[in-house]
Amino acid sequence: MNYRTIIVETNRRIAETISSTLKKAPDFEVLSTYDNADSALGQSHIYNPNLFLIDVDNPDLLQMLPAFVDLFPNATILATMSNWNADIAYKAQKSLVAGCIIKPFKPEEIIDTINLYARRGKPEPSRIISFFSPKGRSGRTTLAALLALDIAKKTKESVALIDADLQFVDLPIFFDIEPRHTIVDASHDIRLLTPNTFAPYFHEITDNLYILSSPDRPEYAELVETKSLIEVVRMAGHVFRYLLIDLPAGFNPISLEVSNFADTNFVVAMINTGLEIEHMRRTLDMFRERRKKNKIDYPIFTRVNPCTDEERAKLELQLGYPVSVIFPNEYNLVSVANSGRILYGLPKDTVMMKTIDSLANRIISGGL
C-alpha cells in the first residue's frame, strides 16, 4: 500500500527527521509538512492524503483531532507523542483517531501500528468490564471466559481477558494454554512499553481473543502493584476493543481499584446458603458510596433454581437492587471449563449459553 502522508508536527527538527525517514521508504510518499492545525486542515485536501501523523505533544493539535477526523474520514490518523502518556492517549482515542505511536519511529513501525489498530476494531474507547465477587466459587471466572468468547465471535474485534486473580491460575486452565508472559511481566515492564511492544505479552487464543495470565506461582502476586496494574489496563485499552478482567474475590486494593476504574462492573454471587444475598447487598452498598457519579454495578446470581423471571423478582425484592442476570446451575458446562475444553466442548442450546448470548448482545449494543 502507498501511504500518502501529511505530517503535522510543531517541532521543526522532529518534522524534518520524520519526513526524511519516510521519503526513503518505498511505501510512503510525504505530501506536505505543517506546524499548525489551521494550515493542515485548510490545505491538505488538495493532496488527497490517506495518512496523517499529528503531534499530540502540542495541546492545540490534540484539541483539533476531531476536526481532522471529520474532514478526512477515509484517512488513517495516528497521534504521535514523544513519550507514552495514558491521559493524552485516551483523549486522542476519544477523538476517534486510529491510534497512537511513539516518536521517533521507523516506517515499518507505522505499518505495524496501523495493522495493530486495524485488528483492534472500531476507533473508539475500549469497553472495560470487571468481574468481582464478594467470596470465591461464584462462577465469576467461568462467566468472564464465556462472555469473552462470545463477544469475540460476534464482533470480530479484538477481545482480551486479563487474569487479575493473582494467586490462582484459572483462565489458562480453561483454555489449556501455557502463556510465555504473565501479568507480573507486564506490570513490571509497563513504563517501558508502547502499544506495539505491549501487545505480545498477551497469549493469542483465537484470531481475535487474547489472554494475559496471572502468575504461575502464588507468591509472585506480591510483585504486582495496584498502580502498575491500572497502567496495564489503560494501555490494554489501546490494543484491544474489549477488556474483561477477572478480579480476586473479596475486598482488596486490586479488586477495588480495578472495578472502580472499569466502565462496567459485574458483581457475581452463587446462590448456596442464602447468605449470598446479604453479601451482595453489602457489596453494592459499599460500591455505591465510593463510586463516581452515574456509575452502575450490575449484580449477577449464579446457580439459581428455578432460573425464572419469578425467581429473579424474588431475589430483587430480597436484595433491594435490580438483578441484572441470573444463571442456572449447569454442571456439564463447568466440567468442560475446568477440563480445558472451553474452546471446543461447550454444550449448545442450554439456558446458560442462551443467557450468555443475550448478555453479550447487551454489552455490544451498549445496553450494559
Mean pLDDT of the chain: 91
Cα of 198 vs its chain's centroid, Å: 13
Per-residue pLDDT of 246-285, as tens digits, reads 999 888 899 999 998 999 999 999 988 778 899 999 999 9
pLDDT at 339: 60
Give the closest residue to 246 by CA, choosing from 170, 134, 326.
170
Per-residue pLDDT of 214-231, as tens digits, reads 887 777 778 889 999 999
Peptide bond into 49 cis (omega under 30): no
pLDDT at 170: 76
Cα of 92 vs its chain's centroid, Å: 16
> How far is it, in rounded angstroms, from Cα 322 to Cα 238?
32
pLDDT at 355 over 80: yes
Whole-number percent of the chain with pLDDT over 90: 73
Same fold, 3-120 and 127-365: yes
> How far is it, in rounded angstroms, from Cα 212 to Cα 330?
27
* CATH entry 3.40.50.2300 includes domain 3-120: yes
Give the closest residue to 299 by CA, choosing from 276, 279, 280.
280
300 close to 268: Cβ distance less than 8 angstroms: yes
Q: Mapping DSSP to helix (H, G, I), strand (E, B) and coil, where does residue 264 land?
A: strand
Q: Return the domain boundaries, the chain.
A: 3-120, 127-365
Strands in the chain per DSSP E: 3-8, 28-34, 51-55, 76-81, 99-102, 127-132, 159-163, 203-206, 209-212, 242-246, 264-270, 297-302, 325-326
> How far is it, in rounded angstroms, from Cα 86 to Cα 22?
27
| Cell matching residue 245 | 478482567
pLDDT at 342 over 80: no
pLDDT at 101: 96
Average pLDDT over residues 93-117: 95
pTM: 0.92
Task: State which fold the 127-365 domain adopts.
Answer: Rossmann fold (3.40.50)
